[in-house]
Structures are given as C-alpha cells and as structure tokens.
Amino acid sequence: KKKQASLMAFFGKK
C-alpha cells in the first residue's frame, strides 16, 4: 500500500 506525499514536504513557503 502506498501513501500519498504532500507537496509541503518538498516546497517551502515563501
């Protein structure tokens, strides 16, 4: 079973 990653784990808030 695979889990969906969030974009927030990769991109920082500006």
Q: Distance between CA atoms of 1 and 13, rounded to whole angstroms?
A: 29
* Minimum distance of other proteins from residue 11's CB (angstroms): 4
* Minimum distance of other proteins from residue 6's CB (angstroms): 5
* Minimum distance of other proteins from residue 3's CB (angstroms): 5
Task: For residue 6, give both structure tokens.
Answer: 């969030």
Residues 1-14 that bind other proteins (CB under 8 A): 1-14
Look up residue 2 and give its amino acid. Answer: K
Instruction: Please name the residue that has the structure tokens 């079973």.
Output: 1
Contact residues for other proteins (CB under 8 A)? Answer: 1-14
